[in-house]
Structure 1
Amino acid sequence: MKPVFSLLLSLALLPSARADSVVLASGSIPSAAVDNLGDTVGGLGSGIAHDPESGLFFCIPDRGAGDGTIDFRPRYVKVRLDLQGDDLNPQIVEAVLFRDEEGREMSGLIPDDPESEIPRLKDGRTCLDPEAIAIAPDGTLYVTDEYGPLLYQFARDGKMIRRIELPEMFRPRRANGKMDFTNTEKLVHGRAVNQGPEGMCLLPDGKSAALIFQSGLMQDGAHKSPTTNLLILDLASGKPTALYAYPFSTVVPETSELQDIDSVSVNDLAALSDTRLLVLERDNRGRNGSLDYPVARNKAVWIADLSMATNILDHGSAATARPVAKTLLFNLPAIVPDPKRLAAKWEGIVIVPPLHPSAVTLVMTADNDFLAPVLHIGGKDIPFPRAQDKVESQFFKIRASLPEKP
């Protein structure tokens, strides 16, 4: 007899929607491109939002190249995409720096102030590793931070409005209870190293946000956990209202080939309704800077149904809870002309007009990890030997038929 969790997990993984999915347009930004601040444009696919007012897309690089070792100033980048034809023709419009509540520029460096209760450097700057972005009805921006992990609200000019702390279960701590943001392997509690709230979207009423973590928490087995956490926050109070277990896929989508759970991560969310979310899930295969890279197999968008899942916020555990139900919408390598050209880190999705009850149109984008041979950052030219292959920032516009609700 299967363990309880295995039975529940099998119930959660529903058959593929077998939806008709088609790439309508594509485009890319060269890895050598620079923004209006004079810095290399990279990592744009970490998160993406669509501004209905201007029609522009707001993209966020993460903490920058070098895994937090290069002093990159976090920002969001306004990008124009042509949604009318088959060439998206991405154009950089403007990069806007994020600043703290006192107006100081923030840093993507790994935090080094051991006494601070939020991620900071010893020089007083706030550290930010942004991974997802959403635009609120009032025009302000919500951005997740992987270091904290935290949820920030920013004005359009990049200045912080407020910082929302996530529940204690997500806070990174050592065995002695001390908070540790330094990406140490000594963590025993909270988000795993570099595995924070990768995905986030606002629910249709604009009053709640859904956040999803890239992998399980340290106390739940981290990369080995069969589920991760999907958290619903009330934005007015900053308090959580629900917590769900989201199960990772154990097979490559649309195949019978098994895949290790620790090779799969969740990377972004988009809301179809208050209880149905699109979830971007991926492996680490694809163009990664090496000339000899494994071809992408799993860059899948799933429909997650929360309506029958157990809310484990105040009681219960993922091991005995009914997890979120999943239906495959499409797997990107199966619908693009040449999957060998796909970047490894597809991390951004956003729904775009026209809206239709039986289909969805979305834009997907990839984090190219700043894979240019020479980086221009902070007025300096920095050789980046990891970039043997110059990986461009890739975008796709995709239309997919939605299955009928069960």
Structure 2
Amino acid sequence: MMLRTTAPLLSVLALLSAGSALAAPAIIATASLGGSSAGADADLSGLPGTLENGVAANFLGGIGSGLAYAGNGTFLALPDRGPNATPFNPKIDDTVTFIPRFDTVSIDLTPAAAGAALPFTATATLKATTLLWSATALVYGTGEGLDVPNGAPAQNTADHFYFSGRSDGFDPAQNSCDPANARVDSEGIRVSNDGKSVFVSDEYGPFLYEFDRATGKRIRAFTLPARLCITKLSASKDVEIKGNDVGRVTNKGMEGLAITPDGKTLVGAMQDPLEQDGKDAATKKVLRLVRIDLASGATQEFAYKLTDGSGVSEIVAVNDHQFLVDERDGGGLGDGSEAKMKKLFLIDLDGATDVTALTGQALADAAVKKTEFLNVVAELGKIGVTPAQVPSKIEGLAFGPDVTKDGAAMHTLMIANDNDFLPKDSGPNVFYVVGFTDADLPGYVPQPIAN
């Protein structure tokens, strides 16, 4: 990817070299990750062999579906349900027995040399890959009638049952939120303040699970509002959508996840309006944010109205009541089109209406107010990334460490992409580092994470 310095960025560099405050949020570094010590395009799971579609079981891709800061320059990067962008079996939506996982990545930020295109250099290194599993038995697809073998991972043991990205891993007698379902399409990730737990949100259920960070063992399944779940499950997206008029839309579940800096609250963002909300003209662009109290599991819902984006991909906490929401279109690199709308909006849940019991116009009227914080397409344009080169799936957001250059201190926000496991078509796993100051985002409180 070619980078060029433009006038706005030059002004940022001038401010930095003069020891002044950063004038506005700006991209200060980029990094990519294309492999590990195990080889190019390989993660550190150690998984042998290939998946049903011939892709290596340890393929490193899609790791920007979710991104969480874990302290000391370390991030947890989350791939989704695995490599299914290349057609091979429409009966299961081209999904495979990819074991859900998170990758531990260090991102080293250092001041760049004088005259460099960007004020900092960033180096991303894969440190570990952790597979996600349950100590209790899970329901896998048998493969019967679907032209695939049984979906239980070969790595399963008597007390380790690994989750799977394959779409047929469910009990048809239960709703989509049954925690015994093996299928997981992980999309959001956050770390607990003690650094020991990882929270993951998903699209299939939607599910919200807590995992042991060290082992990948599931230690808690949160109960989400029943209105988010569907009752007629299928391995086929089209069949599932046609069969349900209540619940999440298939492949558009709990796409984003935030944890407040005090570590007491999670907020999950649905990607799209629920089936029942999307059918109402008043709420066809209104999706739900679900706030979960970690101690009790109690939930509240809030309404978010889309502006020009086709959905929400991420949410990250600014403090205990304000959040940045990633709203985007599907255009850009990987889609074969130009990106037009990828923006971060600031919202505040203080004083917002709990919409748990609301529908129709009342739900729409209760949508939270939002203000634009960052136009990602415009900012990438300032460093030479054209709309056609902007990754189509900007999905991972995480605040990172503070940095200093020539006496100028700033906070950082990491932005990552989901390349759908297609680096040749959708570009590499990339991280864009945005620098900002307290003046840009008043009230920002970093999450304290023990190490």
TM-score (norm. length: structure 1): 0.79
1:23–1:398 Cα contact (<8 Å) kept: yes
Question: What is the Cα deviation at residue 222 of structure 1?
Answer: 6.3
In the alignment, residue 22 of structure 1 is paired with which amino acid?
A
Name the counterpart of 1:209. 266
Q: How does 1:61-210 map to 2 (within 5 A)?
A: 61-66=79-84, 69-85=95-111, 86-102=120-136, 103-112=160-169, 113-117=171-175, 126-138=182-194, 139-156=196-213, 157-174=215-232, 183=237, 184-185=240-241, 186-210=243-267
Question: What is the Cα deviation at residue 109 of structure 1?
Answer: 0.4
Name the counterpart of 1:10. none
The answer for unaligned runs of 5 or more in structure 1 is: 1-18, 251-262, 373-386
1:20 maps onto 2:68 in alignment: no
Q: What SS does the aligned partner of 2:377 have?
A: helix
Name the counterpart of 1:305. 348
Question: What is the Cα deviation at residue 87 of structure 1?
Answer: 2.6
2:64–2:395 Cα contact (<8 Å) kept: yes
| Cα 1:71/1:20, change in 2 over 3 Å | same
Name the counterpart of 2:87. none
Question: What is the Cα deviation at residue 40 of structure 1?
Answer: 1.1
Q: Deviations over 1:244-298 (max 9, x none)?
A: 1101113xxxxxxxxxxxx51101111112221011111101111x6xx212122
1:277 maps onto 2:323 in alignment: yes
Question: Aligned residues: percent identity?
Answer: 31
Q: What SS does the aligned partner of 1:51 have?
A: strand
The number of residue pairs the alignment matches comes to 348
Name the counterpart of 1:383. none
Larger Rg: 2
Q: Deviations over 1:110-169 (max 9, x none)?
A: 035312445789xx8711111000001232010002111110000011000011121011
The answer for unaligned runs of 5 or more in structure 2 is: 1-22, 48-57, 85-92, 112-119, 137-159, 444-451
Aligned mate of 2:422, from 336, 353, 371:
371
Partners of 1:300 and 1:29 lie apart in 2 by: 24
Q: What SS does the aligned partner of 1:149 have?
A: coil
Question: What is the Cα deviation at residue 68 of structure 1?
Answer: 5.5
Partners of 1:366 and 1:222 lie apart in 2 by: 30
1:40 maps onto 2:59 in alignment: yes
Name the counterpart of 1:328. 372
Partners of 2:365 and 2:208 lie apart in 1 by: 26
| Cα 1:97/1:403, change in 2 over 3 Å | closer
Q: Deviations over 1:190-219 (max 9, x none)?
A: 000100011111112211101110000000
Question: What is the Cα deviation at residue 84 of structure 1?
Answer: 2.4
Q: How does 1:320-399 map to 2 (within 5 A)?
A: 321-336=365-380, 337=383, 338-339=385-386, 340-354=388-402, 360-372=411-423, 389=425, 391-399=427-435
| Cα 1:181/1:98, change in 2 over 3 Å | same
1:107–1:125 Cα contact (<8 Å) kept: no
Partners of 1:199 and 1:307 lie apart in 2 by: 20
Which stretch of structure 1 is more off in the superposition, 358-367 or 209-218?
358-367
Q: What SS does the aligned partner of 2:401 have?
A: strand
Q: What SS does the aligned partner of 2:59 have?
A: coil
TM-score (norm. length: structure 2): 0.71
Name the counterpart of 2:298. 239
RMSD of aligned alpha carbons? 2.7
